[in-house]
Structure 1
Amino acid sequence: MTLDQRLLDILACPEDKGPLWYFEDEDILYNPRLRRVFAIESGIPVLLIDESQHVSDEEHQRLSSKKGVE
């Protein structure tokens, strides 16, 4: 399910208040600074720090590559 661009424009990481990368095909929001993934469940971003997941170096590289960032 695609998130509305207006919502994406105002969403921020609950921990560092920075922008999040949206991966529609994986239903996740990603904070590359903290290497933290937030799930999107039934079209609703779950922006709870306790429910987020840290990613490995390999996963960070994969997500960064998908965004065209090295």
Structure 2
Amino acid sequence: MDHRLLEIVACPVCKGKLAFDKEKQELVCKFDRLAYPIKEGIPVLLEPEARIMTIDEGR
């Protein structure tokens, strides 16, 4: 994931910053506890496509 892209993308729900989870290939919003998938190198920033993170993951 290009770090320049991380500077401009935002969570579509709260407009907050997203963190890159390299292992799971996801962009994570810790505030909303949502993880957006990255498919074929392209972030899918659609709320219906997001995975709800568990309480343990949100820490």
TM over 0.5: yes
Pick one of 38, 51, 55 that aligns with 1:40.
38
2:16 corresponds in structure 1 to: 18
Q: Equivalents in 2 of 1:36, 1:59: separation in Å? A: 10
| TM-fit CA distance, 1:59 | 2.1
Say which structure is richer in helix: 1
| TM-fit CA distance, 1:25 | 2.0
Bigger Rg, which one: 1
Gaps of 5+ in 1: 62-70
> Which TM-score applies when normalising by structure 1?
0.77
Gaps of 5+ in 2: none
Question: Deviating runs (4+, > 4 A) in structure 1?
Answer: none
CA RMSD for the aligned pairs?
A: 0.9
